[in-house]
Copies of this chain bind each other. A is one copy, B any other.
Amino acid sequence: MNEPPLDPRLAADCHLLGRLGTTRLLLLDDARFPWFILVPATEAVEVCDLSTAERQAVWAQVNEVSQLVRALFPVDKLNVAAIGNVVSQLHLHVVGRRRDDDCWPGVVWGAGGGEPYAAAEVARIRAAVAAHPGVCRT
């Protein structure tokens, strides 16, 4: 399979942390939330347009990342979503939320005001994520 290039907006807004299978795992550059984005290697725009096997693989990867977020960050709630109204390349959000975070109980999408990570913090998260079973460094 030829992997589609990463959407330029995702590439500009995120750090590439690694992969789960062929799916890219990104960290949104917003230190307010542990906000992970999975980008399956597909031209499909909707999850329901994937094959059954692809769909099951993607949701299993979302599950892995959900567990990872809870393992690495203090989190009261997970928010999982496939939206794609702005960036049509299929991508899935897994966001760790806290009752004292900037947007609680509202959603993070459209909230604006991202705070970039310090480079050392991205390196720390990248190393922690790479140690998680199923995640490969790129």
Binding site for B on A (CB under 8 A): 45-48, 55-56, 59, 63, 66-67, 70, 77-86, 97, 104-107, 109-110
Contacts and interface: CB of A to CB of B under 8 A. Distances in A.
Contacts of A59: 55-56, 59
Given A63-B55, A105-B85, A78 B48 contact: yes
A4 to B, nearest CB: 18
8 contacts: A46-B77, A47-B78, A48-B70, A48-B78, A78-B82, A81-B83, A83-B107, A107-B107
Contacts of A67: 48
Given A46-B66, A106-B110, A82 B85 contact: no
Given A85-B106, A104-B85, A110-B106, A46 B79 contact: no
Contact of A47 (B80, B84, B86, B109): B80
A81 B47 CA distance: 12
Contacts of A85: 77, 79, 97, 104-107
Contacts of A105: 85-86
Nearest to A99: B85
